[in-house]
Amino acid sequence: MSENPHVTKVEFIKSAVKVPDYPDEGERPEIAIAGRSNVGKSSLINKLCNRRHLAKVSRTPGRTQLLNFFRINDAFVLCDLPGYGYAKVPEEVRRAWGPMVERYLTQRRNLKGLLLLMDVRRDPGDWEVDLIAWCTHHGRAIVPVVTKVDKLPPTRRAAAIQRIAGTLGLPAKSVVGWSAETGEGLEDLWARVARLTAPSA
Ligand SMILES: Nc1nc2c(ncn2[C@@H]2O[C@H](COP(=O)(O)OP(=O)(O)OP(=O)(O)O)[C@@H](O)[C@H]2O)c(=O)[nH]1
Ligand SMILES: [Mg+2]
């Protein structure tokens, strides 16, 4: 894998479900990675951190079922959230998703914002729109990230991103176009992460 000059140190901290089990990272800023199942959350963490197998990637949607915490450069924390909306996980797991993630989003004190991942080939639905509204209401910053742009020919990417931004009611330039396959969007994403985790943010 090519060098990523932004990353000097990456540590898996722990997995957790309940609030008392979250790692105590004090004031260290944290960013959560949210999105539908299979959208590429774990792949984004791996690419962002320049590690192949840090977060578990799977062709089988619903692989990540816990909150997974990673400490980056001793400076900030990434939290890989379980994917929303995968039908084939057991009913009790599916029912637990909402409360687990909602507790995290409302109670995690050092959470600075969310990367909201959406597949470039899909229209965002109510879930994404509701999550953005919820974050706005609760004062959590959102960075919209359109994933798997390598799946579309370059000539169709801008229009797809424009359409997704339009559905969300956001300016197209607020959306990061991303590919974990090619690394497209890496600099843009790092700039957003740096801004969110800056001491004054
Ligand atoms: N072509 C392409 N495939 C991708 C990209 N990102 C992820 N994938 C593939 O999409 C599948 C799902 O990726 P994951 O990173 O496991 O997705 P996830 O959102 O963490 O999934 P859950 O944990 O199940 O919610 C895997 O087969 C990845 O290789 C991308 O940018 N481009
Ligand atoms: Mg995952």
DSSP the chain: ----TT-S-EEEEEEESSGGGS---TT--EEEEEEBTTSSHHHHHHHHHT-SSSS---SSTT---SEEEEEETTTEEEEEPPPB--TTS-HHHHHHHHHHHHHHHHH-TTEEEEEEEEETTS---HHHHHHHHHHHHTT-EEEEEEE-GGGS-HHHHHHHHHHHHHHHT--GGGSEE--TTT-TTHHHHHHHHHHHHSTT-
Q: 65 lies in a domain? A: yes
Residue 45 alpha carbon, nearest atom of ligand 1? 15
Structure confidence at residue 187 (pLDDT): 95
Q: 2 lies in a domain? A: no
Q: 4 lies in a domain? A: no
Q: 178 lies in a domain? A: yes
Residue whose structure tokens are 């080939």:
121
Task: State the Cα torsion 115-110-9-12 to the nearest 10°.
Answer: -80
Ligand 1 pocket, residue 151 CB under 6 Å = yes
Task: Compute the distance from residue 139 Cα to the ligand 1 centre, in Å.
Answer: 28
Structure tokens at 25: 């990272």
Q: 30 lies in a domain? A: yes
Structure confidence at residue 1 (pLDDT): 47
For residue 48, the enclosing domain spans 10-197
When divided into structural domains, the chain yields a total of 1
Let me know: does 167 contact 139? Beta carbons within 8 Å.
no
Pocket test for ligand 1, best of 15, 33, 37, 38 (most atoms within 8 A of CB): 38
Q: 68 lies in a domain? A: yes
Here the CATH number for the domain that contains residue 116 is 3.40.50.300
Residue having the nearest C-alpha atom to atom 14 of ligand 1: 40
Q: 1 lies in a domain? A: no
pLDDT by 10s per residue, the chain, length 201? 456 788 999 999 999 989 999 999 999 999 999 999 889 998 999 999 988 888 777 666 555 678 999 999 999 999 998 887 765 566 666 666 778 888 898 899 999 999 999 999 999 988 899 889 888 888 889 999 999 999 999 999 999 999 999 999 999 999 999 999 999 999 999 999 999 999 765
Task: Compute the distance from residue 64 Cα to the ligand 1 centre, in Å.
Answer: 11
Nearest ligand to the C-alpha of residue 36? 1
Cα separation, 174 vs 142, whole angstroms: 10
Structure tokens at 81: 């959230």
Q: 37 lies in a domain? A: yes
Residue 83 alpha carbon, nearest atom of ligand 1? 25
Residue having the nearest C-alpha atom to atom 10 of ligand 1: 40
Do you know the residue count of the chain? Answer: 201
CA atoms within 13 A on the CB side of 76: 21
